């Protein structure tokens, strides 16, 4: 060592600091790299990604080799800086103090903070090349890392700490997935992002939120005259109709209109002819999540279901189309009666039927009425007023003024919503 010039020692010290910086940058990059993008690149055959994925599968071994190399290099740098100081300034406690102080500064700047900031900013650019160095280095010093980890595992057991598995640690719940989708605004088209958010929300939305309420179901009464039944079938905008006898509590079945078209063309449709072609009704309990209902439609090969409460009473009707609209947006093949529940007035306010679903009102007018209570606007208004309202009564839900325009049978028939800063109406043919 005495034969080596001081200039050479400075060069060696600089190299040691750079190597220490490499370990620091590699550690941060390995921990900061996006695991899902990493798995995708590895599946595509990227060699560096495959090495990094293998290293991260054994996090304790990876950290062991990085910290082992980093600490050995830092110790060597400390010894070398002490030797340089003795050559330049001689021995002395004050000299050693300033040498340690200066080396600490150099390590912090060039071997710790700066490399770690770079590793965190460009994890893939650092981690992939580092994998080609760390993988063989781990194999080389594996006995030492294994020996150190024996003590580490023993200490963790004494502290009752169980290391988290890498796979389970990176699993995402629904809310985390929703956050990931929301933060991907620059990577996903707006329409794709909206559909993905709607799909993630299917588990929290129930059939009650999207069903057609009982009093809005278009159905055929077998007690009607054959002429009226034939006219109703001929003018219906639906391909499937509910068939009952006398009242909706006496359901006969579901009629697929095309199965009766030949009878309709040859003459009037009778109640007997309808009974022969109706299908057995398919019932589902209220509160069923949409995602579960979608699977049930698929498994049972059904497109229409009747929603019943705990007493077996009919609450409404839900179709496969209703579920698809929650994911991809509204279709344009609605009957006039279904699209007439919302009308804009000349003063900019909106007349809304009380039977309209709160979710539809929120979607169309860009509002945020609560969804965890009543499902219809009428129910929401009754809950807020805690009384049977009369025409002319006004109230506010949040910052949105609402006026009761018309009541009928102890329910709100029509209400006027005045949009302010809290809401902005959307095109009726489009989804938000």
Asked if the model's pLDDT at residue 164 lies above 70, the reply is no
**Cβ neighbours of residue 401 closer than 8 Å, sequence gap 6 or more:** 394, 395, 417, 418, 420
431 and 194 Cβ atoms separated by less than 8 Å: yes
- Which pLDDT band holds residue 148 (cuts at 50, 70, 90)? confident
126-141 confidence digits (pLDDT tens): 999 999 999 999 999 8
Report the percent of the chain where pLDDT is more than 90. 22
| Helix (H) / strand (E) containing 339 | helix 336-339
Position with higher pLDDT, 74 vs 96: 74
pLDDT at 198 (0 to 100): 75
pLDDT at 367 (0 to 100): 87
Rounded CA separation 240/318 (Å): 12
Asked if the model's pLDDT at residue 228 lies above 60, the reply is yes
Rounded CA separation 88/306 (Å): 91
- Which pLDDT band holds residue 170 (cuts at 50, 70, 90)? low
What is the separation of C-alpha 263 from the centre of its chain, rounded to a whole number of angstroms? Answer: 49
pLDDT at 116 (0 to 100): 93
pLDDT at 165 (0 to 100): 57
Asked if the model's pLDDT at residue 300 lies above 70, the reply is yes
Position with higher pLDDT, 184 vs 144: 144
Asked if the model's pLDDT at residue 113 lies above 90, the reply is yes
Mean pLDDT value of segment 327-355 = 73
pLDDT at 254 (0 to 100): 92
Handedness of CA 399, 405, 406, 410 (dihedral sign): positive
What is the separation of C-alpha 360 from the centre of its chain, rounded to a whole number of angstroms? Answer: 21
pLDDT at 356 (0 to 100): 85
Output the average pLDDT for the chain: 83
343-387 confidence digits (pLDDT tens): 888 888 899 988 888 888 888 888 888 888 888 888 899 988 888
pLDDT at 259 (0 to 100): 86
368-377: list long-range contacts, CB under 8 Å, 24+ apart: 368/398, 368/422, 368/423, 369/397, 369/398, 369/400, 371/209, 375/208, 375/209, 376/213, 377/352, 377/353, 377/412, 377/415
Asked if the model's pLDDT at residue 323 lies above 90, the reply is no
Asked if the model's pLDDT at residue 395 lies above 80, the reply is yes
Mean pLDDT value of segment 253-267 = 83
Asked if the model's pLDDT at residue 424 lies above 70, the reply is no
pLDDT at 426 (0 to 100): 43
394 and 373 Cβ atoms separated by less than 8 Å: no
pLDDT at 21 (0 to 100): 93
Q: Which of 42-46, 90-94, 140-144, 205-209 has the lowest mean pLDDT?
A: 90-94
pLDDT at 431 (0 to 100): 36
Q: Which domains does the chain have, with CATH numbers?
A: 6-169 (no CATH), 205-328 (3.10.580.10), 340-417 (3.30.465.10)
């Amino acid at each position: 060592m005495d034969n080596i010039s001081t200039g050479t020692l400075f060069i060696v010290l600089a190299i040691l600091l750079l190597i220490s910086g490499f370990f620091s940058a590699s550690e941060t990059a390995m921990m900061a790299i996006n695991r899902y993008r990493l798995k995708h690149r590895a599946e595509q055959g990227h060699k560096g990604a495959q090495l990094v994925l293998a290293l991260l599968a054994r996090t304790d071994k990876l950290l062991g080799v990085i910290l082992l190399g980093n600490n050995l290099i830092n110790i060597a740098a400390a010894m070398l800086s002490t030797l340089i100081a003795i050559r330049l300034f001689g021995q002395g406690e004050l000299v050693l103090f300033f040498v340690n102080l200066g080396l600490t500064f150099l390590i912090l700047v060039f071997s710790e903070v700066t490399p770690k900031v770079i590793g965190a900013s460009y994890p893939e650019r650092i981690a992939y090349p580092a994998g080609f160095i760390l993988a063989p280095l781990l194999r080389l010093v594996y006995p030492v890392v294994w020996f150190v980890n024996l003590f580490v595992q023993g200490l963790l057991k004494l502290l009752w700490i169980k290391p988290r598995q890498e796979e389970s640690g990176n699993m995402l719940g629904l809310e985390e997935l929703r956050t990931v989708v929301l933060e991907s605004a620059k990577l996903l088209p707006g329409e794709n992002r909206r559909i993905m958010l709607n799909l993630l929300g299917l588990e929290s939305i129930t059939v009650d939120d999207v069903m057609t309420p009982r009093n809005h179901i278009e159905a055929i009464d077998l007690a009607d005259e054959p002429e009226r039944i034939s006219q109703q079938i001929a003018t219906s905008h639906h391909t499937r109709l509910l068939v009952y006898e006398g009242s909706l509590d006496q359901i006969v079945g579901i009629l697929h209109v095309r199965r009766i078209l030949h009878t309709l063309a040859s003459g009037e449709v009778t109640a007997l002819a309808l009974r022969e072609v109706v299908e057995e009704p398919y019932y589902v309990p209220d509160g069923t999540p949409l995602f579960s209902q979608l699977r049930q439609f698929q498994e049972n090969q059904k497109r229409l279901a009747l929603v019943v409460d705990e007493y077996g009473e009919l609450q409404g009707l839900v179709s496969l189309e209703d579920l698809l609209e929650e994911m991809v947006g509204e279709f344009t093949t609605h009957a006039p009666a279904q699209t007439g529940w919302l009308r804009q007035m000349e003063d900019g306010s909106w007349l809304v039927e009380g039977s309209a679903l709160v979710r539809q009102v929120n979607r169309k007018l860009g509002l945020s009425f609560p969804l965890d209570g009543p499902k219809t606007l009428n129910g929401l208004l009754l809950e807020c007023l805690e009384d049977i309202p009369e025409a002319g009564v006004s109230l506010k839900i949040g910052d949105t003024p609402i006026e009761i325009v018309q009541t009928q049978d102890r329910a709100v028939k029509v209400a006027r919503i005045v949009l302010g800063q809290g809401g902005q109406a959307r095109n009726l043919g489009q989804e938000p």
